[in-house]
Structure 1
Amino acid sequence: MLKRTWGALRTSWLPVCSLSMLALPAAAQTTDSANALEEVVVTAQKRTESIQDVPVTVTLVSEEFLAQKNITAVDELSRAVPALSGNNGNYGIRGVATGGFTVSSEQAVATVLDGVVMGRTNINNLFDIQRVEVLSGPQGMLFGKNASAGVINIVTNAPSLSEFELIGSVDFGNFERERERLTVNAPIGSTAALRLSLQNNSQASPIRNVLTDTRGESESYGGRLRFLWEPSDNLSLNLIGDWEETRNNGESTFAFSVASRPAVVNALAACGIVADRRNREVCSEGVYRNNSEHRYGASAQVDYTLPNDYVITSITAQRETTYGPSNFNGLGGDTDTLPINILSTNMPSGEDKNFSQEIRFTSPAGQTVEFVAGLFYYDNSTESNSIQAGRLGSFAPLLDAAFYPGAVTARSYNINVDSDGWAAFGQATIHVTDKWSLIAGGRYTEETLSAVSHRADAAALASRGFVYFPAFSGTFPNVDQGVDTDNFSWRAGVQYDWTPDVMTFATVARGYKGPAVNDLAVVSDPSLVIIDEEIPTNYEIGIRANIFDHRIFASATAFHTKVDNFQTQVYVPSSATNPVPGFANGNAPYITTQGVDIQMFGRITDGLTFNTGVIYTDAEYSDSFVVACSSYQTATATCPAGGTTRSIDNLANVSDWRVLVGGEYARQVGSFELFVQSDLVYETGYSMSASPDPFLVMPDRTLLGARLGVRSPDGRWGVSLWGRNLLDNYYPTRSPDPLGGFNGGGSTSYISTQTSNLYRTYGIAVDFRM
């Protein structure tokens, strides 16, 4: 195992060495080129620095690049960042994502908005964005406990003190796509300014409900208000408030793609539906038409510069997310997507609240010792409610016999999670010589977590018109558990500046992801109620270079990460304290991920720019990791005794290779500027499950997008035609039918997620600035 790991890592470092040999001679060139890049700055180390000088793997997605790739949501950033994957708030970087899901679970990738760590409250829509920085590898030392795999750092446009501006865009496309953006920037005297940004989105789903003859629809709207006040040269106040509301009409987002047993085939046929890989029809009677989610946030940042250029920064923030109806009793969230009430009520609701306070002290740049140090406090509360109800398909006769004809059973829970903690952190760069620098830092964290879950009893269900069926109603646990933890995470490294344009570094970092509580699974062994903290250790060696007369920036990083106590679903064998074996959220011994990450962007000639990234990732489970047999193994009687099997070799949902290539060519013709943009995403196939299953294998994927347009040379207006997935390649995410045991499908039915971005989409966009 050690020999194989070293061999793979040695091979992955070859591109780094090759890039180094390419970059060193180029650094001696002059920087007089008219096509030289402007300096690119990032805040990956909580200070403004040139990306050339940062010993962290940072993928920068600029405002221009977001527009070029037509990226309007965090979920779409994976089309611009090779190392990033996932959606709906569960993101992964370099193959490391959240593997275990409980209400109290932390995310492996932290989302930061204008310096505020979002915690369990999150955002999705991107508008009026200056840049997005995706930091790979453990970043918990500076960004907190839920950054064990990396950080998505979103920086919005600050108010401008210099001029009044009105900026807008409209975007229309197929699948009833509609996007509107409007920003107003208004100076207030010479020391203050307001910036109001509004957004509205709507989209139709490709899925049609044949029972109601309707399609899925979703919309969101909201805005952001920023106020900047700079009363003196050494004091700055930034106040930010944002809000967003998201609604959908309750139609399903998935449809049957595989069905072989007569019960499911006949139920679908009664609606005129045939299950296949491109099936976009469902037959749901449980549609709730007022499903909504509300997000709010406010922050106050004060920066004070001392006479010696040291800066004190304070960021106070409050964020809140609420979703779903808390008192809903009717049909809605139909899980079975069939015209019978198997499980036609599945409605979650809840809220997340997060308060945070950060104070940090930053030294000026250019000194022998540069440092950032600070204190961080947070207080998070989460409430999660759910009710699932139905006739349970094949169990319906039992309900009729035990209770009354037409009886509907349900299960419901309420979970309250409270967590709070504080941390002290600091990082220093010591410039030993003009070329050599040492990097050292640490973060000490103390936190408290408690989770209380309560299962609805027979009386509570009866008050809502449901019967208590123990085999179903009693499956959610009653839990009252808490845990106190402390942790010290750290980072150390060395940096060498060969020239002002070529830098190499080597670092090692120990991260941290907080513990969780098994609040959604019955665990009879008390020692398994608490899911231990997750500890990643990451090694990196990298190079950054400005080459070819500063026309191109290039970086390459070789990495190796081992995540001990990886939080995921694990097999729990029978014991004196756990008489019934099974699966629960817990800790796998470890996972490893290693590879190389290469990025380049720049200007080849006047009018021709490009941006490309390549990542190779070798991600594996530990040799002893055991998982539940897949549906396919059960259906084909290939499941070993005990219902467990060795996991697949590679980590689920992780491609070995991801390649992203994009660019623009622009040319002025008369008083107009014509431009064409294109982007290509290629990634190798992967398994969508840790258990062996040929139905859950994603093939190699190729996605091509383009934009063709005309604009004014000064950027005041533009009109363009755009398209995504122009080849109309279809790559749905598939999973076993969760109700196969109730609807007669057994282990031989599968469902596929259906969203508009799985298909060819196209439209027209108009932009203006005045």
Structure 2
Amino acid sequence: MNRYHVRRRSAVNAACVALLMGGATAGWHAAAQTAEAPEPKRAELQTVVVTSQKRAELLKDVPQAVSAYGADDLKALGVTKATDLQQLSPSLNFTAGPDTRSEGFQMRGVGTSAFADTVEQSVGFMVDGVSLARSGQGSGGLIDVERVEVMRGPQGMLFGKNASAGLISVITKRPRFDQFSAEGTVSYSGAHNEVKTEVVANAGVSDSAAFRLAVATTRADGYVQNVYRNETLNDRDEKLVRAKALFQLGDNLDLYVIGDWGKSSALCCTWTARSAPPGTTFATLNAANGIVPGPRNDKIAANAPFYSDNENSGLSAELNYNLGWATLTSVTAARGWKTVNNNDPDILPINILDINLGASDLRQKSQELRLTSPDGGRVEWVGGVYWSEQTNDSMQEQTGNFGGLFTPFGVPAGANVGVIQDTTTRNRSAAAFGQAGVRVGASKFSAGLRYTDETVTLDYASRPSTTIPRPGYAYGKTRGETGANNLSWRLTAQHDLTRDDMAYVTAARGYKGPGLEFLDNGNGPVAVIKPEIPTTLEAGLRSLLFGGTTLFSAAVFKTRFEDFQAQVFDQTVTPARFRTTNAGRLDTQGVELEANSRITKQLTLSGAMAYIDAHYEDFQNIPCYAGQPVLPFGTPRTSPGQCIRTSPTGAAVTDGSGNRLVNSPRFTAFLMGRYDWVVGGYKAFAQADYAWRGDVTYSAAGDPSLVQGGYGLFGAAVGLGAPNGRWQVTLFGRNLGDKRYADRLMPQPTLGAPGVVSQFVGPNAYRTIGVTATVRFGT
């Protein structure tokens, strides 16, 4: 490959140095590090390899915003589940929910956390080349990981389906032919008596066959006290197993088979009262049970149970055949995901919806065939076809006496009424894709296209859950169907400014398929959620500084989403609920800076920061928030935030245009320093890290009571290990300042009133001190 060799440092490098010295450092880019790599004779970075363009490439040569986190780095920072990645990657956020079906990731401020089974997330999630239908399938533990790649901006052109805002790709460790080994890790932390174990064994039985088995468990006490039922909620009990086999079937043919299974069962996932103005029913009932709402409140008094059971399984086979002129790859996969959960939405000892139960049985199948040209040629290309099918059978039951709401309509006092909803959704997607790049001197130009054809159907039936029908509810059946075809694309130009500096610019059009939203009235209509279409323009720089000891990356971007699939909280229906709709348009723009520097052989410094302005550009006719002043029908709208009735007695709506996106901090940053040395013949290290997240809103309508203030989290660790790496013991502390923060704020689902707010507080919002021990055997 013709490279542009210039030894003199450029003005671009000088600008990078100025940014670094000025404190705008950024990025934890420690990626595919291997334990077998020899110790460098001088301070230099480990090689970072990513596959964000469907081929293995050095990170410094990749013309897009991508971060990579290696296994050792994740362990050093205590990242054991995907949701923890938001502390490392400033452009990544995670929104919690009452169950795994409704939680989701956001990238650059954009993401969809929706209860609708036909609406997929904007941030895709992939494990070993297989796209997961719902992000909740991948939000559990990370086991036997080689690296995690976080790709920002539209990624659906080359990867699976959708991924309109970005992609999280988890790559686990492959079996090795030359290795018989075993590794065991056990960790204990005191905040919730959490015990984690992981055992990994590799057996290279011949030059052509190797097997690998990984088993992990997590058990942790809950941290929310249900004072009425005398039980502790939000505990964890998880088991994960992943088995792999790698076969070299010939000089040019290999087969990689992966099977995995995981199960979690917990009294989970409850929220707590954050605020309740005096005089509200919610405040009175909480006070009667000795509960004081507030950011540090960890008590509820629910009379109905909370529980969440999940089972996740999958089987995939990857076949690679080297044809000489290209490599043919086939990835065949089937996955299943079963969930069942219940919660008590009033979180008090009254019967409004004592049964608020959801169950889901998701099955997905996918097939990808692609051809990839050899590396290093003047022209590099990849192309293929992709097919997937998802079927989800779900059931939801809402039964209670609604606090006597229906007594005036003939329902006996204390009697229960309710609805059971049975839904089957199907999603079929077929696509053809390709990307080609040509190198011209010091420049490379790439173009890619993807054509997608997608169909979504929904079959719905509702029936009474008790002998007394719910007044005003039209039980029945209905069906909906929609489809779309789309052409997404990417154009990229990159230029080697020097041997160590590369700049790029890329423009891309992404796609996320349509969905269906049932309008919550038995035989009523089904709303079509239109496809989500982002268009992005990004420019970036990657530079190796100070003799190859520092990798610096910068990106500036602007993305416009048309028909963004947004979730809003609708209090105009009974019971109030979240629903999905299309926001007309939203914009997100900002700058991301990252750096990873090996100052000396002993000292490593890393950092990342992002400043992102993400807001709704056009989001009309959404429900007003509780307590918002309501103007009468016909009032001329003089500002977007006004709440105006749609008819003399109709619902009141507002205009969210100009409001910030939900759970999108403007400024985030991560800093880490680590020092390694040898003491008494043993390897020792000490490290410290700090993560800052700015304030966020959890209301598309602009509810001022749903704002989480900014916060910083400080962590540290010290460790000692054998010189040959056979064992290591680490003492760690996380959130040492015991900063209590919420992963989500929401209007209280029942007993809502102006200023009544509930919160999801995760386990990381507590000071945690613990110890981890690892032992290794074999060759």
Query: TM-score normalised to the size of structure 1?
Result: 0.88
SS at match of 1:138: coil
- Cα distance in 1 between the residues matched to 2:421 and 2:336: 21
- Cα distance in 1 between the residues matched to 2:566 and 2:757: 23
- Cα distance in 2 between the residues matched to 1:600 and 1:606: 17
1:686 Cα deviation from its structure 2 partner: 2.0
Mapped contact 1:556–1:596 kept (Cα < 8 A): yes
1:644 Cα deviation from its structure 2 partner: 2.4
> Is 1:270 aligned with 2:288?
yes
SS at match of 1:605: coil
SS at match of 1:76: helix
1:646 Cα deviation from its structure 2 partner: 3.4
Alignment CA distance shift 1:539-1:342 (3 Å): same
1:728 Cα deviation from its structure 2 partner: 1.0
SS at match of 2:283: helix
Equivalent of 2:75, from 67, 77, 80? 67
Residues 389-408 of structure 1 mapped to structure 2, 5 A cutoff: 389-395=399-405, 397-398=407-408, 402-408=410-416
Q: Look up the equivalent residue of 1:202 and give its one-letter code.
A: R
Mapped contact 1:215–1:251 kept (Cα < 8 A): no
1:570 Cα deviation from its structure 2 partner: 7.7
> Is 1:242 aligned with 2:251?
no
Alignment CA distance shift 1:750-1:357 (3 Å): same
- Cα distance in 2 between the residues matched to 1:218 and 1:488: 43
Unaligned runs of 5+ in 1: 1-13, 24-31, 326-331, 575-581
Match of 1:343 in 2: 353
Equivalent of 2:181, from 154, 159, 165? 165
- Cα distance in 1 between the residues matched to 2:524 and 2:770: 56
Alignment CA distance shift 1:635-1:728 (3 Å): farther
1:699 Cα deviation from its structure 2 partner: 1.1
Residues 22-101 of structure 1 mapped to structure 2, 5 A cutoff: 34-87=42-95, 88=100, 89-98=103-112, 101=115
Q: Deviations over 1:349-381 (max 9, x none)?
A: 011111000010000011111001111011111
Match of 1:676 in 2: 686
Q: Percent identity?
A: 32
- Cα distance in 2 between the residues matched to 1:636 and 1:42: 55
Equivalent of 2:224, from 207, 230, 241? 207
Alignment CA distance shift 1:262-1:562 (3 Å): closer
Mapped contact 1:184–1:197 kept (Cα < 8 A): yes
- Cα distance in 1 between the residues matched to 2:131 and 2:600: 40
1:196 Cα deviation from its structure 2 partner: 0.3
- Cα distance in 1 between the residues matched to 2:522 and 2:610: 39
- Cα distance in 2 between the residues matched to 1:570 and 1:262: 23
Alignment CA distance shift 1:687-1:251 (3 Å): closer
SS at match of 1:269: helix
SS at match of 1:127: coil
Match of 2:599 in 1: 604
SS at match of 1:393: helix
Which structure shows the bigger proportion of residues in helix conformation? 1
> Is 1:641 aligned with 2:638?
no
Q: Deviations over 1:155-187 (max 9, x none)?
A: 001111112111111111121211000001111
Match of 1:588 in 2: 583
- Cα distance in 1 between the residues matched to 2:408 and 2:198: 55
SS at match of 2:284: helix
- Cα distance in 1 between the residues matched to 2:764 and 2:315: 32
- Cα distance in 1 between the residues matched to 2:614 and 2:189: 38
Match of 1:766 in 2: 773
- Cα distance in 2 between the residues matched to 1:739 and 1:281: 17
Q: Look up the equivalent residue of 2:187 and give its one-letter code.
A: D
Residues 497-646 of structure 1 mapped to structure 2, 5 A cutoff: 497-521=496-520, 529-569=527-567, 585-623=580-618, 625-633=620-628, 640-642=643-645, 643-646=652-655
Match of 1:749 in 2: 756
Q: Larger deviation: 727-736 or 343-352?
A: 727-736
> Is 1:317 aligned with 2:333?
yes
- Cα distance in 2 between the residues matched to 1:636 and 1:185: 68
Mapped contact 1:477–1:521 kept (Cα < 8 A): no
Match of 2:23 in 1: none
Q: Look up the equivalent residue of 2:653 and give its one-letter code.
A: T
SS at match of 2:296: coil
1:484 Cα deviation from its structure 2 partner: 2.5
Mapped contact 1:228–1:237 kept (Cα < 8 A): yes
Q: Look up the equivalent residue of 1:449 and give its one-letter code.
A: V
SS at match of 2:628: helix
- Cα distance in 2 between the residues matched to 1:516 and 1:265: 38
- Cα distance in 1 between the residues matched to 2:753 and 2:444: 61
Mapped contact 1:207–1:754 kept (Cα < 8 A): no
SS at match of 2:158: helix
- Cα distance in 2 between the residues matched to 1:725 and 1:584: 34
Unaligned runs of 5+ in 2: 1-10, 21-39, 633-640, 646-651
> How many matched pairs?
717
Mapped contact 1:540–1:560 kept (Cα < 8 A): yes
> Is 1:467 aligned with 2:465?
no
User: Which runs of 4 or more aligned residues in structure 1 lie more than 4 Å from their structure 2 counterparts after TM superposition?
Assistant: 14-17, 20-23, 520-526, 569-572, 634-639
- Cα distance in 1 between the residues matched to 2:414 and 2:521: 29
> Is 1:113 aligned with 2:113?
no
1:427 Cα deviation from its structure 2 partner: 0.5
Mapped contact 1:378–1:421 kept (Cα < 8 A): yes
- Cα distance in 2 between the residues matched to 1:705 and 1:107: 31
1:520 Cα deviation from its structure 2 partner: 4.7
Q: Look up the equivalent residue of 1:533 and give its one-letter code.
A: P
Alignment CA distance shift 1:134-1:209 (3 Å): same
Q: Look up the equivalent residue of 2:746 and give its one-letter code.
A: S
SS at match of 2:257: strand
- Cα distance in 2 between the residues matched to 1:723 and 1:570: 37
Match of 1:191 in 2: 208
Mapped contact 1:176–1:204 kept (Cα < 8 A): yes
Mapped contact 2:584–2:618 kept (Cα < 8 A): no
Q: Deviations over 1:136-158 (max 9, x none)?
A: 00011101432100110100011
Q: Deviations over 1:28-62 (max 9, x none)?
A: xxxx9711123211000011111111111111111
SS at match of 1:64: helix
Alignment CA distance shift 1:502-1:525 (3 Å): farther
Mapped contact 2:599–2:605 kept (Cα < 8 A): yes
- Cα distance in 2 between the residues matched to 1:676 and 1:206: 30
Equivalent of 1:145, from 155, 161, 184? 161
Mapped contact 1:477–1:519 kept (Cα < 8 A): no
> Is 1:360 aligned with 2:370?
yes
Mapped contact 1:181–1:198 kept (Cα < 8 A): yes
- Cα distance in 1 between the residues matched to 2:524 and 2:617: 24
- Cα distance in 1 between the residues matched to 2:283 and 2:616: 37
- Cα distance in 2 between the residues matched to 1:477 and 1:58: 48
SS at match of 1:153: strand
Mapped contact 2:215–2:241 kept (Cα < 8 A): yes
Q: Look up the equivalent residue of 1:363 and give its one-letter code.
A: S
Q: Look up the equivalent residue of 1:539 and give its one-letter code.
A: L
Mapped contact 1:84–1:92 kept (Cα < 8 A): yes
1:410 Cα deviation from its structure 2 partner: 1.0
1:756 Cα deviation from its structure 2 partner: 2.0
Alignment CA distance shift 1:447-1:262 (3 Å): closer
RMSD of aligned residue pairs (Cα, Å): 2.7
